[in-house]
Structure 1
Amino acid sequence: MGSADGTTADEPDGGSRKTRDTAVSERRFRFLVAGYAVSSYGTFLNMVALNLFVYETTGRALAMGLFMAVRLASGFVAGLVVGGLLARFSAKSIMLWANVGQGAVMLVLILAPESLVTGALMAVSMVIGACGTLFMVALRSSIPEMVGEDRRAWANSLSITGRSLAMVAGFASAGVVVSLVGYTAAFLLDMATFVICAVTVALLPIAGGKGAGTDAGKPGKAEKSGPRWRPVAFLALAAAPGLGLMVALRGVDAFGSSSHNAALPIYSTSLDASNPAVFVSAFWCVWALGNIGAQQVIQRYTQRTGKTVGALGFGYGTVVMSAAFIAAFAGFPLAVTALIALIAGAADGLTEVAYTSHLQTLPATLRGHAFGLSATFENLGFGVGMILVAAALDRFSPLAVVGWSHGAAIVVAVVFLLRVAA
Structure 2
Amino acid sequence: MRHFRLLVVGNGVSAYGSYLNLVALNVFIYEVTDSALAAGLFMAVRLMTSVVSGFVSGRLVSAYDRKRLMVGADLTQCVAMVALLIAPAGGRAGLLYVLAVVTGFCSTLSGVALRSSIPEIVGPELRVRANSLLATGRSLAMIAGFASAGVVVAQLGYVAAISLDAASFAVSASVLMSLPIRTRAEKVASAARGAQVPEGKQRGASGEGKAKNLGSLILLRAAPVLAVMIAVRAADGLGSSSHNVALPVYSSALDPSHPATFVSQFWATWAIGNIVMQQICGRWTGRDGRQGPGERAFAIGACVMSAAFIVVFAGLPTGVAVAAALVAGMADGLTEIAYVSRLQAAPDEQRGRLFGLSASVENTGFGLGMLVSGALLDRFTPLQVVGLLHGLAIALCLGMFVVLVRYGRTGGGAVPAAGASAADGAAPTAGPSAEGAAPPAGPSVESEAR
TM-score in terms of structure 1 length? 0.89
The equivalent of 2:272 in structure 1 is: 289
1:205-224 to 2 correspondence within 5 Å? 205-209=180-184, 213=188, 215-217=190-192, 224=209
For the pair 1:275 / 2:269, whether they are aligned, the reply is no
Q: In the aligned structure 2, how far is the partner of 1:328 from the partner of 1:111?
A: 44
Spell out, residue by residue over 1:89-122, the C-alpha distance to the aligned partner (whole angstroms, 9 max, x if none).
Answer: 1110011011111111111111121221111110
The equivalent of 2:156 in structure 1 is: 181
The equivalent position to 1:62 in structure 2, one of 9, 30, 37, is: 37
Q: In the aligned structure 1, how far is the partner of 2:246 from the partner of 2:44?
A: 18
1:227-376 to 2 correspondence within 5 Å? 231-307=214-290, 308-376=292-360
Q: In the aligned structure 2, how far is the partner of 1:76 from the partner of 1:221?
A: 30
**TM-superposed deviation, 1:215:** 4.5
The equivalent of 1:8 in structure 2 is: none
Q: Structure 1: which amino acid aligns with 2:219? A: A
Q: In the aligned structure 1, how far is the partner of 2:218 from the partner of 2:347?
A: 11
For the pair 1:402 / 2:386, whether they are aligned, the reply is yes
Q: In the aligned structure 1, how far is the partner of 2:251 from the partner of 2:365?
A: 24
The equivalent position to 1:105 in structure 2, one of 71, 74, 80, is: 80
TM-score in terms of structure 2 length? 0.84
Given that 2:120 and 2:185 are in contact with CA atoms closer than 8 Å, whether structure 1 keeps it comes out as no
**TM-superposed deviation, 1:342:** 0.7
Q: In the aligned structure 1, how far is the partner of 2:187 from the partner of 2:65?
A: 8
Structure 2 CA distance for partners of 1:357 and 1:210, relative to 1, 3 Å: closer
Given that 1:91 and 1:142 are in contact with CA atoms closer than 8 Å, whether structure 2 keeps it comes out as yes
For the pair 1:135 / 2:105, whether they are aligned, the reply is no
Q: In the aligned structure 1, how far is the partner of 2:42 from the partner of 2:287?
A: 46
The equivalent of 1:90 in structure 2 is: 65
Structure 2 CA distance for partners of 1:140 and 1:98, relative to 1, 3 Å: same
The equivalent position to 1:155 in structure 2, one of 130, 138, 147, is: 130
Structure 2 CA distance for partners of 1:360 and 1:49, relative to 1, 3 Å: same
**TM-superposed deviation, 1:420:** 1.2
**TM-superposed deviation, 1:139:** 0.7
Given that 1:145 and 1:207 are in contact with CA atoms closer than 8 Å, whether structure 2 keeps it comes out as yes
**TM-superposed deviation, 1:398:** 1.1
SS in 2 for 1:280: helix
Given that 1:251 and 1:377 are in contact with CA atoms closer than 8 Å, whether structure 2 keeps it comes out as yes
**TM-superposed deviation, 1:123:** 1.2
The equivalent of 1:412 in structure 2 is: 396
**TM-superposed deviation, 1:381:** 0.6
SS in 2 for 1:301: coil
For the pair 1:37 / 2:20, whether they are aligned, the reply is no
Higher helix share: 1
Q: Structure 1: which amino acid aligns with 2:12? A: A
Q: In the aligned structure 2, how far is the partner of 1:369 from the partner of 1:211?
A: 18
1:14-33 to 2 correspondence within 5 Å? 26-33=1-8
Q: Structure 2: which amino acid aligns with 1:320? A: V
Q: Structure 1: which amino acid aligns with 2:223? A: A
**TM-superposed deviation, 1:37:** 0.8
Q: Structure 2: which amino acid aligns with 1:281? A: S
Structure 2 CA distance for partners of 1:211 and 1:331, relative to 1, 3 Å: farther
Q: Structure 1: which amino acid aligns with 2:281? A: I
Given that 2:62 and 2:350 are in contact with CA atoms closer than 8 Å, whether structure 1 keeps it comes out as no
Spell out, residue by residue over 1:220-276, the C-alpha distance to the aligned partner (whole angstroms, 9 max, x if none).
Answer: 7678449x96x2332232342321111111111111111111111111111222332
**TM-superposed deviation, 1:214:** 6.3
Given that 1:106 and 1:191 are in contact with CA atoms closer than 8 Å, whether structure 2 keeps it comes out as yes
Q: In the aligned structure 2, how far is the partner of 1:306 from the partner of 1:102?
A: 41
Q: In the aligned structure 2, how far is the partner of 1:212 from the partner of 1:412?
A: 37
Which range moved further: 286-295 or 268-277? 268-277
Q: Structure 1: which amino acid aligns with 2:220? A: L
Given that 1:318 and 1:348 are in contact with CA atoms closer than 8 Å, whether structure 2 keeps it comes out as yes
Q: In the aligned structure 1, how far is the partner of 2:398 from the partner of 2:368?
A: 22
Spell out, residue by residue over 1:388-417, the C-alpha distance to the aligned partner (whole angstroms, 9 max, x if none).
Answer: 111111221111111111111111111012
Q: In the aligned structure 2, how far is the partner of 1:396 from the partner of 1:223?
A: 53
Q: In the aligned structure 1, how far is the partner of 2:206 from the partner of 2:333?
A: 36
Given that 2:266 and 2:325 are in contact with CA atoms closer than 8 Å, whether structure 1 keeps it comes out as yes
Aligned residues between the structures:
395
**TM-superposed deviation, 1:306:** 3.1
Q: In the aligned structure 2, how far is the partner of 1:212 from the partner of 1:289?
A: 41
Q: In the aligned structure 2, how far is the partner of 1:46 from the partner of 1:153?
A: 29
**TM-superposed deviation, 1:69:** 1.1
**TM-superposed deviation, 1:211:** 8.1
Given that 2:185 and 2:348 are in contact with CA atoms closer than 8 Å, whether structure 1 keeps it comes out as no
The equivalent of 1:386 in structure 2 is: 370
Q: In the aligned structure 2, how far is the partner of 1:257 from the partner of 1:395?
A: 19
Structure 2 CA distance for partners of 1:55 and 1:221, relative to 1, 3 Å: farther
Percent identity of the aligned residues? 50
**TM-superposed deviation, 1:205:** 1.9
Q: Structure 1: which amino acid aligns with 2:139? A: S
**TM-superposed deviation, 1:78:** 1.4
SS in 2 for 1:309: coil
**TM-superposed deviation, 1:210:** 8.1
**TM-superposed deviation, 1:212:** 5.7
Structure 2 CA distance for partners of 1:369 and 1:274, relative to 1, 3 Å: same
Unaligned runs of 5+ in 1: 1-25
Spell out, residue by residue over 1:121-140, the C-alpha distance to the aligned partner (whole angstroms, 9 max, x if none).
Answer: 10111111111111111111
Structure 2 CA distance for partners of 1:222 and 1:130, relative to 1, 3 Å: farther
